[in-house]
Amino acid sequence: MHLNRWSRRVAGAAGLIAGLVAVAAGASACSSGSNGSPSAGATQVTITLTNDGCAPSPASMPAGPVTFTVKNTTGDKVSEAELKRGGTILGEKENLTPGLSGTFSLKVEAGDYTIECEGATTDSFPLHVTGGTAQAAADPAVAAKLNAAVAGYQTYVLAQADKLGPATTAFTDAVRGGDIAAAQRLYAPARSYYERIEPVAESFGDLDPDIDARAGDVEDPNAWTGFHRIEKALWQDKSLDGMTPVANQLDADVAKLVALVKTAKYQPAQLANGATELLNEVASSKITGEEDRYSHTDLSDFEANVDGAKQAFMLLGPALQTVDPQLYTTVTQRFADVEDALTAYRGDYAGSGYVDYSTVTEAQRRVLTQKVDALAEPLSQVAAKVAG
């Protein structure tokens, strides 16, 4: 979990959200004029944010691309508007103080949504999207392959979630039992199931920070929960005093996540965006050593992120081979390059399957970053190819 990424979940994490393809964050607050203009053909919805509420206009529209423009005219008690469906945030614009405006764009399927604005007198407004679902692809053969990809990804996520539960419990049992050595060995394996599907987890509001926040991600150190809180106890404090409630909470949060992913549905572009996001996560927090700063098991998380990204990409492969075989070949080769680079660090440190990350030099980390960047760049082109 990375705070920066979390705070811009409209653009990033929303790439893997049930029912929608989040396509791009709009221009930042105070965007105006031509630069922030949406693409041709998108339905325009204006949300006027005041202390009274955030009514969308129009409140009903056909399925397809929609650009929401949020304007805070006078509201000093409100600063954000969210698009939600079934309790999940699909898109939002935050930090809009009076006078500022911003946009976000999504492709929406038919269904009932809400626009919510915490702090307003009326904080929830309905939004109705009519018509059929968005076209996956014009070519029926490609559409069939994309449907198979989505189904395959659903199966993959469920399988990871099913393993995450028991692996987490094995870890938390050791924590509750006060067995530091056992808990250290079980930490990295449990996390790997989470890291493979992290973008999905991030789509469920506060669950990701509850499970995966790092010390710098929380304002109140006493409210810090999840894997990394226990990681600090295991490797830095070398004491599990007071960790039982944290372990219990982690079990509960993981159980909540497992239940939620069972209902999640995906679109092809979400798979691709989620894959890119996993690699961004590798570059921004694994290679820097920030993620597992106490345990130095970062390479295990690195591998899990790459695995999760590759799984999503491979499922899209048959469709992409039809749409853009060159891009398919490039991305496939670059995945192999990253995996080869990672293999060099295989080891048996702390149950992670890799070496202690603190032994990896700066020059070596730089090469790893460059290989991940070389993969993520073409991978970021895939979503638009498989979107309808």
Partner 1 sequence: MTTGPADGAAPPDAGPADGAWPAGATAQADTHGSADGAAPSVRRTSRRALLGFGGAAVAGAALGAGVAAPVAWQASSNAATPTDIVGFFGRYQAGIATPAPARLAFATYDLTVGGTLAQRQAALKALLQAWSLAAAAVTTGHPVPGDLTDPEAPPADTGEAYGSSPANLTITVGFGPSMFDDRFGLAGRRPGALADLPRLPPEDLDPARSGGDLCVQACSDDPVAAFHVIRNFARLGRGTVVMRWSQLGFGKATSNSANQPTPRNLMGFKDGTRNIDGADRAMMNAHVWVGGETDQPWMRDGSYLVVRRIRMRIEAWDRDFLADQQNVIGRHKYSGAPLTGAAEFDAPDFAAKDSHGEPVIPMDAHVRLVAHENAGGIRILRRGYSFTDGMIADSGELDAGLFFMAYQKDPRSQFVALQRRLGAADALNEYIEHVGSGLFACPPGLRGPGDYWGSGLIR
Q: Which residues bind partner 1 (CB under 8 A)?
A: 21, 23-24, 34-35, 37-42, 65, 105, 107, 269, 330, 334, 337, 370, 373-375, 377-378, 380-381, 383-385, 387
- Least distance from partner 1 to the Cβ atom of residue 380, Å: 5
**Dihedral of alpha carbons 284, 82, 275, 199, sign:** positive
Burial class (CB in 10 A: 0-12, 13-18, 19+), 381: middle
- Cβ atoms of 93 and 81 within 8 Å: the answer is yes
Question: Which C-beta is closer to partner 1: that of 219 or that of 362?
Answer: 362
Least Å distance, CB 87 to partner 1, is: 25
Q: At closest approach, how far in Å is the CB of 334 from partner 1?
A: 6
CB of 55 to partner 1, least distance (A): 24
Helix, coil or strand: residue 371: helix
User: To the nearest whole angstrom, how small is the minimum distance from the Cβ of residue 26 to partner 1?
Assistant: 10
**Closer residue to partner 1 in complex, CB, 147/381:** 381
CA–CA dist 133, 113 (Å, integer): 14
We find the least distance from the C-beta atom of residue 198 to partner 1, in angstroms, to be: 20
Cβ distance to partner 1 smaller for residue 146 or 233: 146
Query: Which amino acid is located at 147 in the chain?
Result: N
Residue among 42 and 61 whose Cβ is closer to partner 1: 42
Report which residue type is found at 219: E
**Residues in CB range of 204: below 8 A, 6 or more apart:** 88, 256, 257, 260
Nearest residue (CB) to partner 1, 34 versus 263: 34
Rounded to 5 degrees, what are φ and ψ at 31?
A: -65, 145
d(CA 276, CA 370): 15
| Residue 230 or 383 having the CB closest to partner 1 | 383
The answer to whether 373 and 381 are in contact (CB under 8 A) is no
Cα–Cα distance for residue pair 113/40, rounded to 1 Å? 23
Give the shortest CB-272-to-partner 1 separation in angstroms: 9
What DSSP character marks residue 357? Answer: G
Contact yes or no for 326/334 (Cβ under 8 A): no
Q: Which is nearer to partner 1, 41 or 87 (CB)?
A: 41
